A and B are shown apart, each in its own frame.
Chain A
Amino acid sequence: MRLDRTGKDFVVEWKPDGEWGFDTRPPPRKCQVQIKSTRLGSRQVRVKLSATEWLAKDLAPAFILCPVIDAEDQVDHYVGFHLANYWLERILERLRKAAVKREIPSHLSIALTLSRGQRLESRGVRAWLENECGADMARYAAEKALALKTIGYDDDGPEYIMTVTVGSVSEIVECLMGERELDASFGTPHPLRN
């Protein structure tokens, strides 16, 4: 057994949906979970930025789950962080700044404020994970891949002037009818809109 160095303490998997054929049933629900325990009264936990990068870049749903321990060393409750939307943006921003400053992510940490997470009782953890993951893993992965590519950019992408080269007018008509592809070349990009 090898030590996991990438922060994924648990890979949580659900059974495949039994209502489908073996070959057609969708990918089973699965997520990555890192445990970060803390004491009752703490306001935040700190996680290595390098660990959050592994979790954030994984296209499966990823969570940081904080068991909050009371004075009797018992779990009082949990706080869950789904590394999507706000937290995905926070992680990518920290990584961007670290890259510019030539800092090493494993030497840095990111603070997760407990009040911004989802407070959970022990019995509610499973249902929360299921709800956050959703039922369609392929769709989740596609949306996360798109978010990783687009979150945080200060523009909508470049604009180009496209030049299409054709041998005759009928080739344009055939392209508009969906019958043919045309070669296109792009000029220098226009200044980006903010």
Chain B
Amino acid sequence: MRPLGRRTRFGIEAEAPEEFVLPPTGRVSVVPQDYEGWLVEVLDNFGVPQASVELKGQTVALEGLQREHWRSEATNGILTFSLVGYKATVKFLAADMLHKPHDLDRLIASVEFWQSLVACGGRLRILKQDCNGDQSARHRIAKL
């Protein structure tokens, strides 16, 4: 085995200092890219879906990480959902509608969803789509 900290190029060991393997200094940042597909449904008192909306979500729920630190968030640019521990929060980003262009279908679906959510008393169900498209495997019902 060659000495620790040296690299070889074309079979020739490093001579230049910049080629020695030295620990870098740095900071760690993460850009989440693997978004989950979320389908969120408003439920009436009998558990029947009244409206739904699809969003892109991301979740941090690691084995060994206490549940109070778990976080899930999802947005479609108009609605945002946040789950922290046992607390669920839904926001309707009305101010963003004035400044950002939005797809008309998504806008209508979001407004209908919000109206149903208010009318039905804040009962909703979150279906998270797993990698093979199965939405039934993981779901969570929240009452705002």
Contacts and interface: CB of A to CB of B under 8 A. Distances in A.
B28 interface: yes
A164 interface: yes
Given A178-B29, A182-B27, A152 B9 contact: yes
A169 to B, nearest CB: 5
Contacts of B71: 173, 177
Interface in B15-59: 15, 21, 23-32, 58
B29 A96 contact: no
Contact of B15 (A100, A176, A192): A100
A4 interface: no
B32 A176 contact: yes
Interface stretch (A23-31, A56-64, A154-162): A154-162
Contacts of B25: 185-186
Contacts of A153: 7-9
B67 to A, nearest CB: 11
B120 interface: no
A49 B26 CA distance: 38
B10 to A, nearest CB: 4
Interface in A78-136: 92-93, 96-97, 99-100
Nearest to B58: A177
Contact-size category for A: 20 to 34
A184 B26 contact: yes
Interface string B64-77: 01100111010000
Is chain B's binding surface mostly helix, strand, loop or mixed?
A: loop
B23 A188 contact: yes
Contact of B10 (A152, A170, A180, A187): A152
B69 A99 contact: no
B133 interface: no
A192 B8 CA distance: 10
Contacts of A184: 26-28
B56 to A, nearest CB: 13
A13 interface: no
A51 B139 CA distance: 66
B144 to A, nearest CB: 22
A92 B27 CA distance: 33
A16 interface: no
A40 interface: no
Nearest to B11: A154
A170 B68 CA distance: 9
Interface of B: 1-2, 4-5, 7-12, 15, 21, 23-32, 58, 60, 65-66, 69-71, 73
Q: Give the top 5 A-B pairs by smallest Cβ distance, nearest first.
A: A186-B23, A158-B21, A181-B29, A93-B10, A181-B27
16 contacts: A93-B10, A152-B10, A153-B7, A154-B8, A155-B8, A169-B69, A170-B69, A177-B58, A177-B60, A178-B29, A178-B30, A181-B27, A181-B29, A182-B27, A189-B21, A191-B1
